Chains A and B, each alone.
Chain A
Amino acid sequence: MDPLVIKLALGGLALLAAIGLFFGIGLALAAHKFAVEVNPKVEAVKEVLAGAQ
């Protein structure tokens, strides 16, 4: 295969991975900063209740 094509493909992979990592970290930080306190009892009650849906 043409080495230029391989270079393009690898470059694309690297760049997309970098973008994904960057925004992933950004979103994680945002989720951390804007975290909403959920009452743990709600989860506990939901766990006990029968719910197929």
Chain B
Amino acid sequence: MKKGRAALSLFFLSCAAALLIGGCNNPKFIKKAEFHGTHLIVLTFAGPVDPEWGENSASFSVNEKPDPDILLEVRGVTLSPDRTRLTIELADPINQDQPHQVVARDILSQGKDLGTQSVTVARPYLGYLFSIFLGALLIQNFVFSKYLGLCVFFGTSQKKTTAVGMGITFTFVIVFASLMSWFFYQFILKPYRLDYLQIIVFIGLVSLTVQAVDTILRKINPALFKAFGVYLVLVIANCIVIAVPLILADNEYGVFESLMLALGAGLGFLLALFLMSSVRERLDLADVPVSYRGLPIAFIVAGLFALSFMGFSGMSIF
């Protein structure tokens, strides 16, 4: 009982401390800033602002966050009737991949000068991560729209069980290998200016991951190891597993972006293998012309899949 009371009072004390610390923060007058369409940035204020300040486009400057000295041209500013929402129209389309900085000079609200405030506008981060994931999984599926990893794709898509096993191993390996490559690229290769060696290092890291998985799986789960058989080693020869680290390095992705791309690529490969193996199991029973039996018809089926996956192309989410 006594212990419970002590814990309770400690809890209230920490709550009060958190409130005090929170209250010390300078309240932001600009509550929200977001992109609207291709040319607009919408700011939401905590209170009404004066029209003579808000409708003057000289009060605002907009720039992309990495280049603060290149100001974007503001075409016009409009204030909503309740004077709390303000729309900035830019002359050129906004590159939404970059966070933008909006500086509002000497904000006037009901005659009071609230000083200069700046705000960063960026796309919602979780949505951005999800769009990377879905992009790698469907829209730019590595097998069906980039034609990578075809050797393993055709080699292991004859039976559903091996296809799924291969897909899961592959996802496993690609996530580990990409995260490791990301770490090595960001913290070792780039600081020492050795990024020209990235291909060699990435190949080494991929084979290292595969070898480690091989060694550990052999001991821990011999049944699964037997089921994977030769495919585990085949992952080394897959082009997707080396393409993903190169894409990460090229785009300067962060750790979560890398994770999402690797996961999307791995699951996309799993999806492609599963679809293909389902069709090929049926094809064995179908009456295929002799000269098309086996690999040729498989290539035709893959082409049809690629055609249907083209339906996703050009889609953008968020």
Interface, chain A (partner B; CB < 8 A): 8, 11-12, 15-16, 19-20, 23, 27, 30-31, 34-36
Q: Once the chains bind, are A35 and B194 in contact (CB under 8 Å)?
A: no
Report chain B residues within 8 Å CB of A19: 184, 188, 201, 204
7 tightest Cβ-Cβ pairs between the two chains A and B: A34-B219, A12-B194, A31-B215, A34-B215, A23-B208, A30-B215, A34-B216
Candidates A15, A16, A20, A27; contact of B215 at CB < 8 Å: A27
Q: Once the chains bind, are A8 and B215 in contact (CB under 8 Å)?
A: no
- Cα separation A30 to B214 with both chains bound (whole Å): 11
Q: B192 an interface residue at 8 Å Cβ cutoff?
A: yes
Chain B interface residue number, banded: 10 to 19
User: What's the count of A-B pairs with C-beta under 8 Å?
Assistant: 38
- Cα separation A23 to B204 with both chains bound (whole Å): 10
Q: B282 an interface residue at 8 Å Cβ cutoff?
A: no
Say yes or no: A27-B212 contact (C-beta < 8 A), given A19-B201, A36-B219: yes
Q: Once the chains bind, are B192 and A11 in contact (CB under 8 Å)?
A: yes
Q: Once the chains bind, are B211 and A27 in contact (CB under 8 Å)?
A: yes
Closest to B216 in A: A34
Q: Once the chains bind, are A20 and B211 in contact (CB under 8 Å)?
A: no
Report chain A residues within 8 Å CB of B192: 11-12, 15
- Cα separation A33 to B201 with both chains bound (whole Å): 26
- Cα separation A11 to B194 with both chains bound (whole Å): 8
